[in-house]
Structure 1
Amino acid sequence: MFERGDGMEDRPSRKEFKTRLELMVRELRKDILSGKYLPGTALPSEVVLVEQYALSNNSVRKGLDMLVQEGLIIKKHRVGSIVANPHQSKIVITLGCSPSIERDISLSRILEMFHKAHPSIQVNAVTITGPDSFDYLKTAQTYLEHGIIDVMTINNINFQEIMEHECTHLFEPLVPQTNMYPFLNETFSYDGQLLVQPLAFSPTVLAFNKSHFREAGLLEPDSSWTWDYLIRMTKKLTSEDRHALFFHVLSENRWPVFLLQSGISMADSAIGKTAFINPKLLDSIQLMRQLINDRDVFAHYLSNHSNDAENLMRQGKISMTVQNYFSMNEFKNTDIEYDISPLPFIHTPTTLTHIIGMGVNRKSAVKDAAKILVRYFASEQAQQAIRDHTLSIPGIKPIAETAPSFNSGLNRPASYSLYKEIIPTFRTHRDLGLTVRGFKKMGEILKLFLSGMMDTPALCRMMEEELQSDLISRRIE
């Protein structure tokens, strides 16, 4: 209950009125959605709400109109505000998703949970696709600007694009959750505001077939392994119908690992143009070419997607692959005997981290309901579902670091929790110091170099010529 004063000095400011109005709407919405007020029952009268929240009659009516627009209540003349039947009137939210989101966070399961908890809100999920993963935002931007989608899934590369294209105004600021890993909120923040709610993350790791190592009499990989050591030690794993290692080299979540392990950021002003001929950076790129061209270690397989490597692992055609916890979900319903270890390294033990979240369209006509959806995906119930039903790492730290709530029978690696020990080695694509456009150019340059169509001096010249204008601008720091 708010106290009212009689003097002018006690009159609340416009900001205080707005805060009280938002509190009233939020609490009534919560009470309706939680079942405190059942369909067909009346909310407290306007007179009671005026007194309870110290608002004017007009402000209370404005707040109730918001609930009418959300489909939560209907107003009946001389009766009052009646809670709507969710089967008669529902708020419809359109959720724009990446193609892999079902695998990554068990989307349909959490939406089913959400619909049971919030029967007055209907979520329709649509898949957003583009020519490649970097064009996800390009495809989604039109939908956002025209209010076609209300919520969208976003990863850290998408968010880098959002900042570089000055599209942050399209997203509604959110309230950070203190129980999330801090680096997740930092990744999705801009100008001190959280614009995307983190949901799950994954470092890149080395997955290996335990039985293959046992049969070859080799010790399993650990954090001391370098790439050179892997090349020397694992040739015993290669046979006529099996190779030691394979991964989809051109994946945006694979090749950057080698460049990051050089410890060099191309946008480092202290290094300047010499970054492109830095010995550590060149060592890392040359190591990648040496590795994938060593037929005693690396499978000569023409892949077009990262899933190809997981398929080869399932078939027993390779003994190791570079993957993350999201792609590890491809193994969750198999009987393959596997485990994971930190990535081998060259100069600096470093791994690439992939982060997934959800953002609310600021132009959404059902913004309040959209926020409820995003908060639910970040709730303990939804985060526990990610922990229980996937191999992905949920964003809420206590849930991620606790065992699943029941034995779901998933094929989890024994070393699942190793990510906790390697958090200091986490880096994102942005740590390369390149814009997303520059990142795409770098991928094209590497195609030529890794295929042997370019020597090292030509590589250095092309990097300097093509990437100089695509170093990360300080304006998005």
Structure 2
Amino acid sequence: MDFDHKSGRGKFRSKLQHMIERLRNDILIGTYKPGEFLPSETAFVKQYGLSNKSVRKALDELVAEGLIVKINRVGSKVTEKGSQSAVVKLGVSSSIEDDIVLAKLLEDFGTLHPHVHVKTVTITRSEYASQIKNYLESGLIDAFTLNSLHFQELAESGALELVEPMEADREIYPFLNDVFCHDKEYFAKPIVFSPIVLAYNRAHFREMNVPEPDGSWTWEDALKHAATLSRVKGRHGLYFIMVSSLRWPVFLMQSGEDFKPDRNGKYDIAGSKLLEGIQLSKRVITTQDNYVGFLVEDNKDIMDLFRQGNVSMMLASYMSLNEFKESTLDYDISPAPFLHDPCTMLHAIGASLRRTDQENGAARLLVDYLGSSRAQQIVRQGTVSIPAVRSLNESPIEEPDPINRPPRYALYREIMASYQTRSKLNLSAQSFHLLGKLLKKYWSNLIDEDELCEKIREQL
């Protein structure tokens, strides 16, 4: 009896606190503006399942905070204090501005919700997921952007307990919602996505009388034609940063195999198709002249070389093609060349909320906005990135288009069946990063093929 009484009391306090926090947030973010009247007490009784006495108690709390004033026989009116801004701290990567024209989105969000001020907190790419976890624990961010690779790391580190679950958005491609799903719960609102494709300079192909790539190209085709394109001095036929976590996994995915432990829990890839994919990745690297290596520190350097005509073909995401959106570069895209399985890697970016005991209406408004059709239309008009809202991608792009998009921009719709996420490899985030380090040693000739297989058996 006593336990049930306390339990009922706890539920009452929780419902009362929920009403107070919800109304406070609605006032601060401008849902109820200064001078406007709140709904009647009767409406609140029905909405929150509380008694009239409890509703009056909640409203008295807001009166004490100076957010509303009660007018006898009229109702509760929002005061000028209710016009103060709510601040949302948004954690972002350094590349997010190019990916989704964040400044334009926040400007538009401000016109819709003038009482919400968004402060961006830039998080460095190195150890992004662990930094996100630290920022969430310390309350330094209310919301944040993340990609599909970061999400797996957060899930495996147990950090999703710090992230607010949300409902899957039916307007968004189902496979994108699934990218941010863990234990049947969704933890991010997808914003943009991209397959890894082959970008190429059309002028180079015409000059050397090389047929433009298509979905039938194998890596043998790509290497053969790259050799022809490389005959021009100062030009490389095929070049990209193999060490990128969005590039080298493609070769393993295309092997048609995933990592499966043997009876002893070890990964033995000797003689496997996985090893064949790794061997191919090294062949691609050995065809890339060393002179380019001295000029490259990150993917942006590759994009600069491609724009300047020093590279004819490269693996790229749609997001990276934003480097050319204001240029006159004559380029196009094709499906990535394949080994055994003509698949490619899926890259997605979403937005998440920090889980709190209090209602964080302002942060939720921002995350919902970033995944909305209105925001995604701005992304589509201002970038080469692909919006997550399905209906936008099924309508033609408005003309004239100010963006230098590849002629085959809609390719991503044709090859959706080929999309694979990192989970295809059946590796934990920790094993994935460890494998990347071992491959770097193999590509650099610090270990040979037999040593690579042995270290994978020992360490993965």
TM-score, scaled to structure 1: 0.85
Return the alpha-carbon distance in structure 2 between the equivalents of residues 453 and 119 of structure 1.
57
Look up the match of 1:180.
Answer: 172
Q: Which residues of 2 match residues 60-459 of structure 1 at below 5 A?
A: 60-61=55-56, 74-78=67-71, 80-85=75-80, 88-129=83-124, 132=126, 135-238=127-230, 239-267=232-260, 273=266, 275-295=268-288, 300-363=293-356, 367-405=360-398, 407-459=400-452
| Letter of the structure 2 residue corresponding to residue 179 of structure 1 | E
The CA deviation string for residues 115-149 of structure 1, in whole angstroms up to 9 with x for no partner, is 1101111110110115x2xx112112121112221
**Structure 1 contact 155–356 (Cα < 8 Å) conserved:** yes
Residue 271 of structure 1 and its aligned partner are, at CA, apart by 11
| Letter of the structure 1 residue corresponding to residue 456 of structure 2 | M
The CA deviation string for residues 202-251 of structure 1, in whole angstroms up to 9 with x for no partner, is 11000000111011111100000000111112322112111101101111
3-state SS of 2:309 partner: coil
Return the alpha-carbon distance in structure 1 between the equivalents of residues 312 and 380 of structure 2.
27
Look up the match of 2:34.
Answer: 39
**Structure 2 contact 260–267 (Cα < 8 Å) conserved:** no
Return the alpha-carbon distance in structure 2 between the equivalents of residues 441 and 418 of structure 1.
33
**Structure 2 contact 22–359 (Cα < 8 Å) conserved:** no
Which sits farther off after the overlay, 59-68 or 302-311? 59-68
Return the alpha-carbon distance in structure 2 between the equivalents of residues 350 and 379 of structure 1.
29
Look up the match of 1:475.
Answer: none
3-state SS of 1:336 partner: coil
**Structure 2 contact 370–376 (Cα < 8 Å) conserved:** yes
| Letter of the structure 2 residue corresponding to residue 112 of structure 1 | E
Return the alpha-carbon distance in structure 1 between the equivalents of residues 79 and 104 of structure 2.
26
Return the alpha-carbon distance in structure 2 between the equivalents of residues 354 and 66 of structure 1.
47
Look up the match of 2:51.
Answer: 56
CA gap 1:65/1:357 in 2 versus in 1, 3 angstroms: farther
The CA deviation string for residues 73-128 of structure 1, in whole angstroms up to 9 with x for no partner, is 81225465333558951111100111111111111111111111011111101101
**Structure 1 contact 34–117 (Cα < 8 Å) conserved:** no
| Letter of the structure 2 residue corresponding to residue 229 of structure 1 | D
TM-score, scaled to structure 2: 0.88
CA gap 1:138/1:48 in 2 versus in 1, 3 angstroms: closer
Return the alpha-carbon distance in structure 1 between the equivalents of residues 109 and 436 of structure 2.
40
Residue 364 of structure 1 and its aligned partner are, at CA, apart by 7.2
Residue 17 of structure 1 and its aligned partner are, at CA, apart by 12
**Structure 2 contact 380–387 (Cα < 8 Å) conserved:** yes
Which sits farther off after the overlay, 60-69 or 218-227? 60-69
Return the alpha-carbon distance in structure 1 between the equivalents of residues 27 and 69 of structure 2.
20
Residue 351 of structure 1 and its aligned partner are, at CA, apart by 0.7
**Structure 1 contact 388–406 (Cα < 8 Å) conserved:** no
The CA deviation string for residues 143-201 of structure 1, in whole angstroms up to 9 with x for no partner, is 11122210011111111011111111101111211111101111111221111111111
* Structure 2 residue ranges without an equivalent (≥5): 1-9
CA gap 1:86/1:234 in 2 versus in 1, 3 angstroms: farther
Return the alpha-carbon distance in structure 1 between the equivalents of residues 246 and 61 of structure 2.
43
Residue 53 of structure 1 and its aligned partner are, at CA, apart by 6.8
Return the alpha-carbon distance in structure 1 between the equivalents of residues 277 and 291 of structure 2.
17
| Letter of the structure 1 residue corresponding to residue 282 of structure 2 | R
Which sits farther off after the overlay, 19-28 or 37-46? 19-28
Which sits farther off after the overlay, 355-364 or 17-26? 17-26
CA gap 1:53/1:164 in 2 versus in 1, 3 angstroms: closer
| Matched positions, count | 450
Return the alpha-carbon distance in structure 2 between the equivalents of residues 66 and 140 of structure 1.
34
RMSD: 3.3
The CA deviation string for residues 362-389 of structure 1, in whole angstroms up to 9 with x for no partner, is 0275622211111111111001111111
Return the alpha-carbon distance in structure 2 between the equivalents of residues 67 and 388 of structure 1.
42
Return the alpha-carbon distance in structure 1 between the equivalents of residues 313 and 57 of structure 2.
61
**Structure 2 contact 28–83 (Cα < 8 Å) conserved:** no
Return the alpha-carbon distance in structure 2 between the equivalents of residues 155 and 346 of structure 1.
26
